[in-house]
Chain A
Amino acid sequence: MNPELLIVALLVLPAAGAGLCLLLPSPRAVFAAILACVAGMAALSAAAAAHVHTRGPVRTAWDWLFVDSLSTYNLLVMTLVFLMSSAAARQYFRGEDRLSPHLARRFGALWLGSLSGMNLVLISNSVGLMWVGMEAATLLTAFLVCIHRTQASLEATWKYLLICSVGIAFAFMGTLLTAASAHAPLLTPAESLLWTRLLEVAPRLDADTLKVGFVFLIVGYGTKAGLAPMHSWLPDAHSQAPAPVSAVFSGFMLSASLYCIMRFVPLVEAATGNSGWCLRFLVLFGVVSILVSAAFIVFQKDLKRLLAYSSVEHMGIIALGVGLGGLGTFAALFHTLNHSICKTLAFFCAGRLGQIYGTHDMSRLAGTVKRAPVCGSGLFWSFLALLGMAPFAIFMSELQILKAAADAGAWWPFSLFLLGAGIIFVGALRHAISMAWREPGEPGKPEEAVWEDVFLVVVPLVALAVLGLWMPELLKQMLWRAANTVAGSAR
């Protein structure tokens, strides 16, 4: 297939799917349409990735759209998360009788709409268009948080909307300052938002303007990515949204905004003479996020809030990895994939448990392994994987980030990362063991295992274990190419 056509198809398919969902008669049909559309996206992304891998980046639509190895890698992660969580959403809403056809149509349209927003972020070459995609994804997901309208979900929606809108506004200011740093005669105004053109002239960009811009960008997109101390919306939105929505939030939306920051890193690095100026910010925000989330995880009472703080931690780890550069960037990108798979699984199990027990309060979730064998043990294993237990893949990526820190002689981040991860390990494991095996106050009838649930729990866990033990050569090459794009050495 013509590669340019492929990109356009990527752009059109989810938007068309969102429109289609509005016309369908039953929830069944809506979920079938969602799954078909996401599967189509996965096939297109795989084709795009294969093309980029063999023949290099593709540009189209007057250079407005562009995919390289960094974007195709993220496209693959995104479609994987959406595939998993769409299947999970089908299971989740089956256990809920409150989803009327009207609500299902709205859910489908918003779900695929936010997919097309995030997709636009990944395939656009214009940093302005990238911003538009991010903002669109924010606004569409806001309604997903309060699909069941309660006081708490409205409160979460309001905080999410306001905090993230301000954050995204800051990111726009940063985008404008980046464009301003490339003023004529360097680039014409029309070109000054195109990432590929900016990268070509990056060493000659006005360094001071770009530095101010990067501060705006990291605060702005950092808010959306949930980096501490701008993370305050995140636990509220994650705890109130339906579980599959939380899975997409944690699994990919946060990573998508880190992707936006990563796009600007090579520009700032080249303009400041590769002095590591902007990387230091990423290390700082990364370490602060890890430590802040550690403090909140230990004293957490709500299961979904705990998972939300764990996302803050993992975003911090990714930011730290990118900030260390080299092997660190490679490991950070690998960590994105591992965290996305694992967090989607964890939210799926947490959502099902919430439906069975009628609460997410961890003091009332007891004996989950007996009461709900599939989701209870699925949650326990996903906790282990999230905490960095060997042989799961998160262990490998965290180890590589530690190695990168040691190689760079960054001993402060190294020890603070270990400290934070250690606190989280002990704190979260205590919660996990207590939920899994504590004697429940009121014994309930064990849930029967459904094969779809078993499939959704076992496949991701096996995938994580395999990735931890053996990394395919193809994935390794892809990751290195993507990491080199962030480092600015891939031309």
Chain B
Amino acid sequence: MNMLMETVVVLLILTNLMLLGTSRLFACIRLVAFQGVVLGCLPVLVHSGHVGARAVGLAVGTILLKGVVFPRLLFRALREANIRREVDPFVGYSVSIFAGILALAVSIWTTRHLTIPGPGVSTLIFPVSLFTILVGLFHIVSRRTAISQVLGYLVLENGIYTFAVVIVGEVPLMVELGVLLDIYVAVFVMGITIYHINREFDHIDADQLDSLKG
């Protein structure tokens, strides 16, 4: 079990770094979907020994939502907007990857003194979830298109999800369902807004949404 957990951690770090270095938006969506599927396995992996129906249900729900529904929504938005890649982001791709590595170092360094009480599943989980949150934030501020910003938001949510499943463990099912539903609606609402922005402005360049100031 522990071995599998470490694999998940490594996959998480790799997908984050790859995302920072990818310009084609289709590939970005696939990467985030893959990350969602990997994370969907976490609820089953953390319970060594018996696996309850609750954990399986959560895993299936997460995989369906993050691996199937979100990518579909985003692919559709992408086709409507008729763009393929993130042209000319604020921060270049190689610099982004270096920033990512720096963020990883920072999250390991800042969390080394903080021991979260509870079962010590993997010492790397907290720093890696923090790293994922930082990558999500970085992706939101360093890219121009609205789609990339939604992807950044999803990565941020993935980071929080990792923490939730592994460290906190059994939060009541209703809360978890509420959270999943909220994220689903958030992405859905963002998708609709992107659709309307595309129709009104003829582009989805969030950088050019700058008429409101002061």
Give the B-binding residues of A (Cβ under 8 A).
126, 128-129, 131-132, 135-136, 139, 142-143, 146, 149-152, 154-159, 161-162, 165-166, 169, 172-173, 176-177, 179-181, 183-184, 189-190, 192-193, 206, 208-209, 212, 235-236, 239-240, 296, 299-302, 305
Contact = CB atoms under 8 A, between A and B. Distances in A.
B80 interface: no
Given A154-B197, A181-B117, A190-B170, A172 B179 contact: yes
A129 B156 CA distance: 20
Interface in B152-209: 153, 156-157, 160, 163-164, 167-172, 174-175, 178-179, 182, 185-186, 189-190, 193, 196-197, 200-201, 206, 209
A305 to B, nearest CB: 7
Contact of B137 (A166, A176, A236): A166
A453 B118 CA distance: 59
B211 to A, nearest CB: 6
A155 B133 CA distance: 25
Nearest to B117: A183
Contacts of A300: 214
Contact of A169 (B116, B157, B174, B178): B157
A139 B186 contact: yes
A169 B159 CA distance: 10
B156 A169 contact: yes
The 10 closest A-B pairs by CB, nearest first: A128-B175, A189-B170, A132-B178, A183-B118, A155-B209, A135-B182, A183-B117, A236-B212, A206-B117, A179-B168
B114 interface: yes
B32 interface: no
B4 to A, nearest CB: 22
A239 B114 contact: no
13 contacts: A128-B175, A128-B179, A131-B179, A139-B185, A139-B189, A149-B196, A151-B200, A161-B190, A162-B149, A169-B160, A179-B171, A193-B172, A235-B214
A132 B182 CA distance: 7
Nearest to B188: A139
Interface residues of B, number: 42
B118 A176 contact: no
B19 interface: no
Contacts of A240: 212
Nearest to B197: A154
A189 to B, nearest CB: 4
Nearest to B163: A176
B193 A158 contact: yes
Contacts of B175: 126, 128-129, 132, 193
B163 to A, nearest CB: 6
A193 B164 CA distance: 12
B193 A128 contact: no
A346 to B, nearest CB: 19
B146 interface: yes
B183 to A, nearest CB: 8
B189 A301 contact: no
A180 B153 contact: no
B39 interface: no
B201 A151 contact: yes
B65 interface: no
A180 B170 CA distance: 11
B58 interface: no
Interface of B: 114-118, 133, 137, 140, 146, 149, 153, 156-157, 160, 163-164, 167-172, 174-175, 178-179, 182, 185-186, 189-190, 193, 196-197, 200-201, 206, 209-212, 214
A99 to B, nearest CB: 19
Given A173-B133, A189-B171, A158 B116 contact: no
Given A152-B212, A176-B160, A180-B116, A146 B171 contact: no
A296 B211 contact: no
A173 B160 contact: yes
A363 to B, nearest CB: 14
Nearest to A128: B175
A8 B135 CA distance: 41
B172 A128 contact: yes
Contact of A296 (B172, B174, B214): B214
B77 to A, nearest CB: 13
Contacts of B116: 177, 180, 183, 206, 209
B38 to A, nearest CB: 19
Contact of A158 (B118, B178, B206): B206
Nearest to B173: A190
Given A212-B114, A299-B214, 20 more contacts: A126-B175, A139-B182, A139-B186, A150-B200, A155-B197, A155-B212, A158-B197, A159-B212, A161-B186, A166-B153, A166-B156, A169-B153, A172-B160, A176-B160, A176-B167, A177-B116, A180-B116, A180-B167, A208-B114, A235-B214
A189 B168 contact: yes
Contacts of A149: 196, 200
A180 B163 CA distance: 10
A110 to B, nearest CB: 11
A182 to B, nearest CB: 8
Contacts of A239: 212
A260 B196 CA distance: 32
A128 B178 contact: yes
Contacts of B197: 154-155, 158
Contacts of A135: 182, 186
B179 A165 contact: no
A142 B193 contact: yes
Contacts of B156: 166, 169
A179 to B, nearest CB: 5
A310 B117 CA distance: 42
A301 B213 CA distance: 11
Contact of B153 (A128, A162, A193, A296): A162
Given A158-B197, A165-B186, A209 B209 contact: no
Nearest to B175: A128
